[in-house]
Amino acid sequence: MNNAFNYNATIRHPLIRYFNLERDRAKARIVKMEAHIRIIQKSCFHIPMYVDLAYGGDSGNWAPTDDCNWTDYHCTVCDAEWKITKNNRGEIIFDGTPK
Residues that bind Zn ion (CB under 5 A): 44, 46, 75, 77-78, 80
Shortest distance (Å) from residue 54 CB to Zn ion? 16
Q: What's the N-to-C CA distance of the chain in angstroms?
A: 64
Burial 31-59 (b: 16+ CB within 10 A, else e): eeeeeeeeeebeebebeeeeeeeeeeeee
Task: Return the number of the residue (68 or 77) whose C-beta is nearest Zn ion.
Answer: 77
Shortest distance (Å) from residue 76 CB to Zn ion? 8
Shortest distance (Å) from residue 37 CB to Zn ion? 11
